[in-house]
Amino acid sequence: MAKPPQSVEALTEQYGPHLKYVPPGGWQGESLKGPEKLVKTHCCFCGQQCGIQLKVRDNQVTGFEPWEEFPFNRGMLCPKGVRRYMQSAHPDRLLAPLIRTDSGFREAGWEEAMSLTARRLQEIQAKYGKDSVAVYGGASLITEKSYLLGKFARVALGTRHIDYNGRLCMVSAGTAYKLALGVDRNPNPWEDIPKAQVVLVAGANVGECFPITTDYLWRMRDNGGRLIVADPRMTPITRNADLYLPVRPGTDTALFSAMLHVIVRDGLADLEFIENHTNGFDQVAEYVKAWDPRRAADVTGVRPEDIEKAAQWFGMAERAMALHARGIEHHSHGVENCLALVNLCLATGNIGREGAGPNMITGQGNGQGGREHGQKCDQLPGQRHIADPAAREHVAKVWGITPEEIPQAGYSAVEIMEAIHRGEIKALFSMCFNPLVSLPDSEYTRAALEKLEFFCVVDFFLSETAHHADVVLAGSLQEEEEGVVGSGEGRVIKINKAVDPPGQARGDSAIVVDLARRLGKGQYFPFESTREIFDELREASRGGHADYYGITYERIEKEMGIFWPCPTLDHPGTPRFFEGGKFLHPDGRARFLVAEVRPSGDPVADDFPTFLTTGRVVSQYLSGAQTRRIGALVDQYPNPKVEVHPKLAERHGILNDDWVTVTTRRSSITVQAMVVRTIRPDTVFIPYHWPGRKSANRLTHRTLDPRSKIPEFKVSACRIEKAAGPQGGQ
């Protein structure tokens, strides 16, 4: 179907200044008359998954109450959590399916939209083969939906290609942990943090992105522990840090290698632990010999004496933890960065004990659960590998098909875009992903979306990506279907249904099941509820690393969540991994792997001399599709700004609030300056929550980590110059 061109201007116009809405019943639902009830559930935003009680009246979420008993956050919430209820009854909510016409979208009935979708997918597969259709999932979806999508792609469509937005998120850490420790999960429950004597926070803006974790860090410090922060920016927690390492973007492997160098040199390594529980130490020790703190200081910009101090604190502590997030993971060597940090913990015996271990801080709401049960391109449920014959056999049996019928591994998220450009993939079914804003090099993404012969999006808002769809199916908010999510800790918790989808909107899982039936595969999709999907997932995960068999909805509610693996109904769950030095590789040992220091994919040069790094601010969430619609959050940070150090600003004659054009090898955007002393003078930072002309991802590049396939969002080469005013008027 011909698509009317979507200009950057049109999208900026539509999604630029955000409105201050008042929903039909008023924000507090003042005019609603029905009885009020409270529903215990979790925040729909980040991976902390705070417990919250939603206030419900007349099938509308009208507010919230804290849920003091939920152990993780004990009633605390951040600015996003306290506003999430404002999505319910939002005027932008999609209430019926939309079909593209030559003059824009028109509303359609479900019968028409679904039969069109099924027909187009079938026609395209008949013409170009099964693998010409790809599926995108998302880690904001409850685990049942992510399991269902994996099965839908492989059984209903029979395509190899399914991947999800978590590919832009925790995959470098997941890949590294799997390689080194044998499993993709955090070793420690969060209650371990206050027990650590030293915590190294590397590339995580805990204050703005994981606000509730700051409470755990402060308790650690109240107990006498020390906080070390490695970040090119002095993020809010740095004010209370004992040591700050202002690392140059893209150089963490050198920093951690030098720390290990000092630890080995000074005899701080735990040789007994290394001998009894690990392999490969000698090669790593040999590699880091060349990385003395002076050499690392040249590369990282961190003073050698600070590297020495960090290493000594970490090496001498009885209990040390490393917490890391996307700052060290969003790199073309993100896996190396994480391996280098894991090596530090293994070398000092800091793992498998209270208050000791490396831990990735999971980002997305269901970042953990969403990466365990098959919506990744190379994965089957239970965190099994799709190429493993035993895994294929087990899952095929649960699905009622033969192992040969399960397709092999397909492309990852960015690779799917590349395959669309090559003409290999012709149709895309996308649920819970806004790639036009979130993928690097957004002009490339836009061109790919325009090339598709058929594109179907399931969302509750008309995201920027959905503007390019042929069919938009009105799906559900988190509070509109019951299910489970896995929090960053590895705790499986229960999302309770608070309201029905409004208008003609439907539950996401009902949409997928309906589509599978229309594709002639109804016998494999007999589900009438998410509970039935969960029960099948339990069987499918049985015996895998992420074994959910012993977890039931009832147990979760009674026990305030259960940590996987939980293989039997009377198993207590597994909050802490690797106790007693038992790792999940077949020989039970952890692996030291050499983490080579490698350059970034978009090197600085004379014409692009400054590092650009991108990330988040506290009041916005991801692509902003949700938070840019919540007036009270928009007010806190209405437009992206570029953080510039006073020295760099002075060199370019830039004052606070001046307009600045930031240019990379791809494109340029013009935003206002925020002149701050809290960033390295060779680096600028732009948050990425906006589309169109305000999109940081117009600037970023598509270099991927070869193993995790994560894009390098954290380092681009750029130049900045003062601009006369906003580009084309903003």
Q: Any contact of residue 643 with ligand MGD (CB under 6 A)? A: no
Q: Smallest distance, Å, CB 105 to ligand MGD? A: 16
Interaction between residue 412 and ligand MGD (CB under 6 A): no
DSSP state of 233: B
Q: Is 217 in the site for ligand SF4 (CB under 6 A)?
A: no
Residue whose tokens read 């003609």: 504
Q: Which of residues 332-371 bind Mo ion (CB under 5 A)?
A: 363
Interacting partner of 49 out of ligand MGD, ligand SF4, Mo ion, none (Cβ under 5 to 8 A depending on kind): ligand SF4
Q: Which residue is nearest to ligand SF4, using beta carbons?
A: 81
Of residues 252, 441, 514, 705, which one binds ligand MGD by CB under 6 A?
Answer: 252
Q: How far apart are the C-alpha atoms of 209 and 211, rounded to whole Å? A: 6
- Judged by CB under 5 A, the stretch of 86-94, 163-171, 327-335, 600-608 that binds Mo ion is 163-171
50 binds, among ligand SF4, Mo ion, ligand MGD, none (CB under 5 to 8 A by kind): ligand SF4
Closest CA to 317 of 281, 282, 288, 357: 357
Closest approach, Cβ 211 to ligand SF4, in A, equals 5
| Residue 8 vs 212, nearer CB to ligand SF4 | 212
d(CA 536, CA 643): 48
Q: Which amino acid is at 318?
A: E
By the 10 Å C-beta count (0-12 exposed, 13-18 middle, 19+ buried), 192 is classed as buried
Scanning 58-66, 304-312, 323-331, 493-501 for contacts with ligand MGD by CB under 6 A, the matching segment is 323-331
Residues 727 and 9: beta-carbon distance below 8 Å: no
Under the criterion CB under 6 A, does residue 442 sit at the interface with ligand MGD?
A: no
Residue closer to ligand MGD (CB basis): 57 or 714: 714
Residue type, 347: A
Collapse the DSSP code of 225 into the 3-class scheme (helix H, G, I; strand E, B; otherwise coil) and give the result.
Answer: coil
When binding is defined by CB under 6 A, the residue of 12, 41, 48, 140 that contacts ligand SF4 is 48
Q: Report the residue number, 43 or 431, with the smaller CB distance to ligand SF4.
A: 43
Closest distance to ligand SF4 from the beta carbon of 84 (Å): 7
Site mask for ligand MGD (CB under 6 A), range 120-139, x = bound: ------------------x-
Question: Which H or E run contains 278?
Answer: strand 278-279
- Kindly state the tokens that stand for 105: 């979208």
The one of ligand SF4, Mo ion, ligand MGD, none whose footprint includes residue 124, by CB under 5 to 8 A per kind, is: none
607 by Cβ neighbours in 10 Å (0-12 / 13-18 / 19+) ranks as: exposed
The C-alpha atoms of residue 281 and residue 683 are separated, in whole angstroms, by 35
The residue range among 73-81, 178-186, 398-406, 542-550 that interacts with ligand SF4, by the rule CB under 6 A, is 73-81
Asked whether position 427 contacts Mo ion by CB under 5 A, the answer is no
Q: Which of 148, 592, 650 is nearest to 342 (CA)?
A: 592
- Contact string (CB under 6 A) for ligand MGD, positions 328-347, x = contact: x-x-----------------
- x/- binding map, residues 7-46, to ligand SF4, per CB under 6 A? ------------------------------------x-xx
Which of 202, 237, 344, 391 forms a contact with ligand MGD (CB under 6 A)?
Answer: 202
Given candidates 8, 11, 32, 50, which one binds ligand SF4 under the rule CB under 6 A?
Answer: 50
> Strand (E) positions, 307-451?
320-324, 357-360, 379-380, 384-385, 427-431
- Do residues 98 and 461 lie in contact, with contact meaning Cβ atoms separated by under 8 Å? no
Q: Report the run of H or E that residue 105 belongs to, with start and end.
A: strand 104-107
Q: What whole-number distance in Å separates Cα of residue 266 and Cα of residue 205?
A: 31
The amino acid at residue 127 is K
**Using N-to-C axis directions, what is the helix angle for 171-181 and 334-347, rounded to 10°?**
40
* Stretch 572-631 residues interacting with ligand MGD (CB under 6 A): 613-616, 618, 620-623, 625-626
Dist. CA 355–CA 384, nearest whole Å = 29
Stretch of 61-69, 174-182, 290-298, 430-438 contacting ligand MGD, by CB under 6 A: 430-438
Distance of alpha carbon 160 from alpha carbon 411, whole angstroms: 8
Tell me which of 84, 93, 309, 326 binds ligand MGD, using CB under 6 A: 326
DSSP designation for 666: S
Q: Which does 616 bind (CB under 5 to 8 A by kind): ligand SF4, Mo ion, ligand MGD, none?
A: ligand MGD
Q: Which is nearer to ligand SF4, 23 or 75 (CB)?
A: 75
Instruction: Say which amino acid occupies 85.
Output: Y
Q: Do 556 and 569 meet the contact criterion of CB atoms below 8 Å apart? A: no
String marking each residue 79-98 x if it binds ligand SF4 according to CB under 6 A? -xx-----------------
Structure-token pair, residue 227: 């906080």
How many Å separate Cα 685 from the centre of its chain?
19
- What's the alpha-carbon Rg for the chain, to the nearest Å? 25
Of 171, 432, 513, 537, the one binding ligand MGD (CB under 6 A) is 432
Q: Rounded to whole angstroms, how far apart are CA atoms 434 and 621?
A: 12
# residues near Mo ion by CB under 5 A: 2
Among 88, 132, 332, 697, binds ligand MGD (CB under 6 A): 697
Q: Which helix (H) or strand (E) holds 56?
A: strand 51-57
Q: Decide which of Mo ion, ligand MGD, ligand SF4, none touches 688; Cβ closer than 5 to 8 Å per partner kind.
A: ligand MGD
Min dist. Cβ of residue 255 to ligand MGD (A): 8
Q: How far apart are CA 316 and CA 724, in angstroms?
A: 54
Lookup result for tokens 């950057």 = 8
Q: Out of 54, 458, 562, 717, name the contact with ligand MGD by CB under 6 A.
A: 458
Does 143 engage in binding with ligand MGD (CB under 6 A)? no
Per-residue x/- mask for ligand MGD, residues 148 to 177, rule CB under 6 A? -----------------x--xx--------
Q: In what order do the strands lie in the sheet with 320-324?
A: 243-245, 226-230, 198-202, 320-324, 357-360
* d(C-alpha 47, C-alpha 68), whole Å: 19
Q: Does 430 bind ligand MGD (CB under 6 A)?
A: no
Q: According to CB under 6 A, which one of 159, 257, 343, 434 is a site residue for ligand MGD?
A: 434
* 576 neighbors 188 (Cβ within 8 angstroms): yes
Is 169 an interacting residue with respect to Mo ion (CB under 5 A)?
yes
Per the CB < 8 A criterion, the answer to whether 197 and 224 are in contact is: yes
Look at residue 77 and give the partner it binds from Mo ion, ligand MGD, ligand SF4, none, a contact being a CB closer than 5 to 8 Å depending on partner kind. Answer: ligand SF4
CA 437 to chain centre: 14
From the list 150, 158, 174, 232, which residue makes contact with ligand MGD (rule: CB under 6 A)?
A: 232
Q: What is the DSSP letter of 521?
A: I
Which of these, 468, 121, 136, 183, lies nearest to 342 by C-alpha position?
183
SS3 610: strand
CB of 48 to ligand SF4, least distance (A): 4
Q: Provide the mask over 318-357, with x wherever binding to ligand SF4 is found by CB under 6 A and - wherever it is not.
A: ----------------------------------------
> Considering only residues 291, 461, 534, 578, which one is a binding residue for ligand MGD as defined by CB under 6 A?
461
Footprint of ligand MGD on this chain (CB under 6 A)?
Answer: 46, 138, 140-141, 165, 168-169, 202-205, 208-209, 230-233, 235, 247, 249-250, 252, 325-328, 330, 363-364, 431-435, 438, 458-461, 463, 475, 478, 508, 613-616, 618, 620-623, 625-626, 685, 688, 696-697, 700, 713-714
Footprint of Mo ion on this chain (CB under 5 A)?
Answer: 169, 363
Footprint of ligand SF4 on this chain (CB under 6 A)?
Answer: 43, 45-46, 48-50, 77-78, 80-81, 211-212
